[in-house]
Amino acid sequence: MSSQASWKHYPSLSQMSPVRAIAESVFNIKNKGLCPRVVSPAEAYEIASRLPWITVTDLPMDKGRARFMGLDDSAMVIVDNHGATVGRSASARVFYNRLPADRKTLCESILREGVYALERNHDLIIGEGVIGLDPALQFKARLITSEEDAANLFFWFSNFTPLSAVPDYAQSVPHPVPDILFVSYPDWEAPDDCPWGRALVVIDEVHNSIFNFGLRYFGERKKGTLTLAWTGAQRLGHVSAHGGIKEVDFSGCPEFAHRGQQVIAFYGLSGSGKSSHTNSLDNEGTLPAGFRRRIAHDDAFQIDIGHKVCYVWEPTLFDKTDSREIDHPDWRHCVGVMNSLAAEVDGQILPYGLDTRNSNGRAIFARELLGETTDRIGFPDSIGWLMKDNTLPPIVKIANRALAVALGATLMTKRTAAENVPAEEMKKLVFEPFANPFRVYPLYEDCLGYAKVFENGCECYVWSGGGGGWWDGEDNRSKKVPLKISLTLQTAILTGTLEWEAWDLVEGALIPTRASVDKILPGYYDSFNPNATPNRGDYLALLTDRFSQRAAFLENSDLRERPELLARLVASLKINA
């Protein structure tokens, strides 16, 4: 199924917003001069390769992805290095539909002036892509930008799918969702009357349009496009997921064949272990012989509750390169690199990771580096919230559905000492509901969606300790939880080998029994028993405070528009201490 062009979607074109109308007008410039032209991925690559700041390395591009985008086997990976900003700029985002009337008027004026400068000063190119890999959920997206931004257009093609590669798209049944329109102008200079700073990302999620002014980082294009895709699918009744999801098939394991295919998803903020849990080949040797693993994606998917399936949006991975040495095998699957050292090695120019040049070095990799992959995967049997909360044991099963939703809606991390904030501020938690900073619709919609996910048989778990540890007598002193312990617990959940007992401090929460967990992790029960914590009074006070902060966060959110739902979620966040 597909999205719709504006003239098909709107009964009258006057019903589109001024923001979409500005974008639509840019795409539809037509004259006898150098009007915007639609380019292929190969053409975008060639334009980018001629730009003076682009490095064409001696690293061959992943041949499968190169051929898919119309390039030949001689194509080499390019490196696009930026200036001071090498990551996303959340402060630049402006949500048009939330602005008061006078700010909307100003925003529209700034956008009109911005595109006027873009049209007058640059040769424009257009990319047409399809967001979504399964024919049941696909949207068309169009991105217009200057030739100087051709590298980002090539990366955009690489991260999603060129329209030309989906020949049946035009014949598919349309969704009641307009095509995504994306206007990119990295060389934009903010006018004096712009109240939003030197960069501006205007999001009109109602009319599926986005403007990216003054920002070079590719991640802004990726997440901006994905934000609108998630929102479009949300309107169709699906549940959006900023997480990783995989299937482990135990049919070939005699001892666990009865478990069949287990689908598990992981949601977590940076450093929580989401990619480690999703992408691990064999959970550090703990999965039984004979298993088969398929990964859908490690960053984004969509849950279709009605059909009990999940769909994948992207055919590639946009990964950090801070852990990849020059000889790491993943480089064989590389498509493009940004904000990374280009080094001479034995007479060749090669991209070098390890964040040597700057933090947040990134690359696009073919998804095949994960092994067997799939564009559609089953409904999740289990969901794991990954949190850096040292008051929670390394694994907790959440049997209370309201608590499962409440903990997802208050997925948290802690401030770090590097943030240079007062001690009292250090105690405050940082919440990112469902680990998705790109949600542009009300929080209560995600809460209602995940409530349905759990009502349909999905079980919920909380993994804690990754990057945070487990309480060891005081808040700033934690016992490390090695990754292998977390992955071993994942295997135990997938194979169904853990038994559970009530955690008396949190109603509806369960912890592994001594007999079942010590069998696979000797000494685990005594090491991570929440009923045997040192300085128990301080521990209980901190646990209570953190759950109170969660409740307060929900009470101050748009959940107030759904008082019955809010009451259920807040009531579940009770500590029996």
Classify residue 432 by its DSSP letter: -
CATH topology of domain 243-298+381-572: Phosphoenolpyruvate Carboxykinase; domain 3 (3.90.228)
Number of Cβ atoms within 10 Å of the Cβ of 322: 14
Q: What pLDDT, on a 0 to 100 scale, did the predictor assign at position 419?
A: 46
pLDDT digits (tens, 9 = 90+) for 210-227: 999 999 999 999 999 999
Nearest Cα residue to 480 out of 556, 394, 415:
394
Two tokens at 425?
């501020």
316 pLDDT band, cuts 50/70/90, is: very high
Q: What is the DSSP letter of 451?
A: H
Query: What does the pLDDT average to over 37-65?
Result: 98
Q: Which residue in this structure is represented by tokens 């390039």?
A: 71
Mean per-residue pLDDT, 489-499: 98
573 pLDDT band, cuts 50/70/90, is: very high
pLDDT interval class at 173 (50, 70, 90): confident
Report residue 394: phi and psi, to 5°.
-60, -30
Cβ-proximal residues to 102 (8 Å cutoff; 6+ apart), any chain: none
Would the pLDDT of 232 be above 70?
A: yes
Give the residue carrying structure tokens 């759904």.
562
How large is the average pLDDT for residues 453-463? 98
Q: How far apart, in whole angstroms, are the C-alpha atoms of residue 434 and residue 241?
A: 8
Residue range 367-391, pLDDT digits in tens? 999 999 999 999 999 999 999 999 9
Q: What is the CA radius of gyration of the chain?
A: 24
- pLDDT at position 465 is 80
3-class DSSP state of 301: strand
pLDDT value, residue 426: 64
Q: ∠ CA 161-69-87 to the nearest 5 degrees?
A: 60
The full DSSP string for 27-84 is HT---SSS--EE--HHHHHHHHHTSTTEEEEEEEPPHHHHHHTT--TT-EEEEE--SS
**What is the mean predicted confidence (pLDDT) over 197-217?**
97
The DSSP code sequence of 517-572 is HHHHSTTHHHHT-GGG-SSHHHHHHHHHHHHHHHHHHHHTSGGGGSHHHHHHHHHH
pTM for the model: 0.95
pLDDT over 70 at 421, yes or no: no
What tens digit of pLDDT does each residue of 244-275 get?
A: 999 999 999 999 999 999 999 999 987 788 99
Nearest to 444 by CA among 455, 433, 436, 454: 433
Is the pLDDT at 422 greater than 70, yes or no?
A: no
Token duo for residue 346: 């034995």
Which helix (H) or strand (E) segment holds residue 118: the answer is helix 101-121
Q: What is the mean pLDDT of residues 150-154?
A: 98
Q: Please, is 420 exposed, middle or buried when counting C-beta atoms within 10 Å of its C-beta (0-12, 13-18, 19+)? A: exposed
pLDDT of residue 467: 67
pLDDT-derived band at 415, boundaries 50, 70, 90:
low
Q: Please report, rounded to a whole number, the percentage of residues in the chain having pLDDT higher than 90.
A: 92
CB atoms within 10 A of CB 556: 9
pLDDT (tens digit, 9 = 90+) per residue, 478-489? 999 999 999 999
Task: Please give the average per-residue pLDDT across 288-305, as a whole number.
Answer: 97
**Domain over 2-52+87-238 is classified CATH 3.40.449.10:** yes
Q: Is the pLDDT of residue 418 over 50?
A: no
Please state the domain extents for the chain: 2-52+87-238, 243-298+381-572
Lowest mean pLDDT, pick from 30-39, 326-335, 339-348: 30-39
Q: What's the whole-number average pLDDT of the chain?
A: 95
Q: Quick one: pLDDT at residue 147? A: 98
pLDDT of residue 273: 87
If DSSP codes are grouped into helix, strand and coil, which group holds residue 291? coil
Mean pLDDT of 87-94: 93
